[in-house]
């Protein structure tokens, strides 16, 4: 090899080393120097919002899950539709998401932009918000590494096939989670997020009205619970906002009561109740019902894993100026 070629090779090697060293890496202290008040600002606004609107924790957790499971944790779920494009928010499964989550992210982003403009991504705000709100309502702490970038697209057409539904059969549920790299145990733990929040009557109406020729409601339900749901949701077709708590006993507390409810026929959704009858998931339901620490440990590990699913880094995404809009108009 000639001397000029050696010089060129050395320069190329040096450039690659420099490029690698300047690439951002996900880390818990990612904003320590660029936005040192990041955590304090987050915690203040999160606490204020959760106190004023207790549904915020469950709504934010749902948005985070729906965001990550579709095409990675990239805040594509936060984009609002405009005259030129529909966004993931417009997918049918996302229409019932409570607006408190989007309001929270807007408040946090506005405050952070005033403190450190153009630094903190919406994807990181959403990931930290989900974690901190879980902790605020009694759930486990888990580490959230930072440095995600925000997506440059939000496609509603890919949402439905990537998210579980209330009527999704167990085989499909397990297959969907497996395709994202999650085991049956991790799936059962993640679905335990239903220990907080609510579901609209339309999501389980098929189980409480005209279930079969022999029963008005699903016999898997506790009969008293079923009758109560029938009364609550009697006019759900005229009042689509009618809803019931996913956990009838401790709806605002993140605990393992959800699994105990499943064992007693108090699981609201068909897909949830199926976990206590399927041999592939029942052992985990029983273990989490008997041992809250086991549930918390697995939930925390599963959320850490979910929070870095297909994240975008460096030039693969942006730091949006507004979380509900792309930095450049998409036409």
Binding site residues for heme b, as ranges? 194
Spell out the SS3 assignment of 103-153. HHHHHHHHHHHHHCCCCCCHHHHHHHHHHHHHHHCCCCCCCCCECCEECCC
In this structure, what are the phi and psi dihedrals at residue 308, rounded to the nearest 5 degrees?
-115, 15
Question: Which of 49, 62, 66, 312 is flagged as catalytic?
Answer: 66
Distance (Å, whole) CA 143 – CA 128: 9
The alpha carbon dihedral of 97, 100, 103, 109 has a sign of negative
Q: Is 66 labeled as catalytic in the residue annotation?
A: yes
Cβ(117)–Cβ(106) below 8 Å? no
Binding site residue list for Ca(2+): 67, 70, 72, 74, 76, 88, 195, 247, 250, 255
Query: Which residues participate in the annotated binding site for substrate?
Result: 164
Helix or strand holding residue 287 (H, E): helix 282-290
Quick one: tokens of 312? 């975008």
d(CA 267, CA 261): 6
List the binding residues: 67, 70, 72, 74, 76, 88, 164, 194-195, 247, 250, 255
Whose tokens are 């450039």? That residue is: 15
Which pair of structure tokens corresponds to residue 240?
């689509």
Tell me the CA distances in angstroms from 14 to 8, 11, 22, one per residue in order.
Answer: 10, 5, 12
Q: Active-site residue numbers?
A: 66
């Amino acid at each position: 090899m000639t001397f000029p070629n050696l010089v060129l090779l050395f320069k190329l090697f040096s450039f690659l080393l420099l490029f690698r060293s300047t690439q951002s890496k996900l880390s818990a202290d990612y904003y320590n120097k660029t936005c040192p008040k990041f955590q304090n600002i987050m915690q203040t606004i999160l606490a204020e919002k959760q106190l004023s609107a207790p549904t915020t924790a469950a709504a934010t957790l749902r948005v985070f899950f729906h965001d990550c499971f579709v095409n990675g944790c990239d805040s594509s779920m936060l984009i609002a539709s405009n005259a030129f494009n529909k966004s993931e928010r417009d997918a049918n499964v996302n229409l019932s998401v409570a607006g408190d989550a989007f309001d929270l992210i807007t408040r946090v982003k506005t405050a952070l932009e005033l403190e450190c403009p153009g630094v903190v991504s919406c994807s990181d705000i959403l990931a930290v918000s989900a974690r901190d709100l879980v902790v605020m309502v009694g759930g486990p702490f888990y580490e959230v590494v930072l440095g995600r970038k925000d997506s440059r697209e939000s496609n509603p057409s890919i949402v439905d096939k990537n998210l579980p539904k209330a009527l999704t059969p167990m085989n499909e549920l397990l297959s969907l989670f497996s395709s994202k790299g999650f085991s049956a145990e991790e799936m059962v733990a993640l679905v335990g997020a239903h220990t907080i929040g609510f579901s609209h009557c339309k999501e389980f109406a098929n189980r409480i009205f005209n279930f079969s020729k022999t029963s008005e409601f699903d016999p898997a339900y506790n009969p008293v619970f079923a009758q109560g749901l029938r009364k609550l949701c009697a006019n759900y077709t005229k009042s689509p906002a009618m809803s019931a708590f996913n956990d009838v006993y401790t709806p605002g507390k993140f605990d393992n009561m959800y699994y105990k409810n499943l064992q007693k026929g108090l699981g609201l959704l068909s897909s949830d109740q199926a976990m206590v009858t399927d041999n592939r998931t029942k052992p985990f339901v029983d273990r989490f019902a008997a041992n809250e620490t086991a549930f918390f440990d697995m939930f925390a590990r599963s959320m850490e894993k979910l929070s870095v699913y297909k994240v975008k880094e460096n030039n693969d995404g942006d730091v949006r100026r507004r979380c509900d809009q792309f930095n450049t108009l998409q036409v």
